[in-house]
Amino acid sequence: MAQFIEIDGRDIGEIRIYALSTCGWCKKTKNFFNENKIKYAYIDVDRLDPNETEPVRKEQLKHNPAGSFPTIVVDGAAIIGYDEEKLAELVRR
Amino acid sequence: MDERVQKRLEALKKDAAAGGYKLNPDEGFVADLAEGLVTNADRYGLEICPCRLIDGAPEENMDIVCPCVYRDDDLAEYGACFCALYVADGVPTKQVPERRPPREARKAVTEKTEPSGAPAAALKYPVYRCTVCGYLCANTNPPRVCPICKAKAERFERFM
């Protein structure tokens, strides 16, 4: 099973990002958490081996049926796409 | 910056200006997307949208080759395309929702439309439609490159 890459920081809950290495919004999302020193984990789905992609996609689709990137899962609830306001709200908690 | 990325970036700027489109004013963001396009061209032989994952065979993903067929609708409705390479104005702070239908529902978008009941036989030339920007041209073949949005000939469909 493909591994999420964990980035250390302030723990505000379990944050998992389904991302693409080529996507500008995904980079912005990771940068947002980096700048705010928040603990999160991410996986670049486009960089997975083809046989690893399917199970990760399945998991992502459970949270976001459109399967779009980034899908940000916070304690099981999904934020779909980069949204500065929603992310700012998240780090205030 | 890699030389190919630099070249791609310059072409993007030139083509956008020529077609009356605006690139995102965030130059770093646009440079990253240009790099993503070059990466995807190497991976798939197609400049797949850097913010989307290819689904199935490359030829089933022509709708998300940049510029994608959803760009103009997203620009009109939200002021930016999905990856935010193209914008109506300013730097967007929120990504637009995904307009691309799920795989099963996508056929209508990706399958070339058949000219329906049009008096094609009466026309001196067939009419081709650019699936990216809607440009129409009446000629034996579609142009190699769309003069409006610079999409390649394979993005054209027979319209009449």
Q: What are the boundaries of each domain within chain B?
A: 3-110, 120-158
Is it the case that residue B85 has pLDDT exceeding 90? Answer: yes
- Pick the residue of A21, A23, A29 with the most B CBs within 10 A to test the interface with B by mutation: A23
- Pick the residue of B44, B53, B68, B85 with the most A CBs within 10 A to test the interface with A by mutation: B53
Give the Cα separation of A77 and B121 in Å (integer): 56
What is the CATH code for B120-158? 2.20.28.10
- pLDDT category of residue B150 using cuts at 50, 70 and 90: confident
ipTM surpassing 0.90, yes or no? yes
Phi-psi region of B86 (alpha: psi -120 to 50; beta: other; left: phi over 0): beta
DSSP state of B106: G
CATH H-level superfamily of A5-85: Glutaredoxin (3.40.30.10)
With beta carbons under 8 A apart, name residues in chain B contacting A68: 51-52, 97-98
Hey, what amino acid is at A82? Y
Please tell me whether the overall predicted TM-score, pTM, comes out greater than 0.90 for this model.
no
In chain A, where the domains are located: 5-85
Closest Cα in chain B, distance from residue A39 (Å)? 22
Contact between residue B36 and residue A23 where contact means Cβ atoms under 8 Å apart: yes
Summarised one tens digit per residue, pLDDT across range B7-65 is 999 999 999 998 899 999 999 999 999 999 999 999 999 999 999 999 888 889 999 99
With beta carbons under 8 A apart, name residues in chain A contacting B53: 20, 45-46, 57, 67, 69
The reply to whether residue B83 touches residue A28, judged by beta carbons under 8 angstroms, is: no
The reply to whether residue B94 touches residue A83, judged by beta carbons under 8 angstroms, is: yes
A73 strand-pairing partners: A16, A78
Give the Cα separation of A49 and B142 in Å (integer): 38
Question: What is the third-level CATH fold of B3-110?
Answer: Ferredoxin Thioredoxin Reductase (3.90.460)
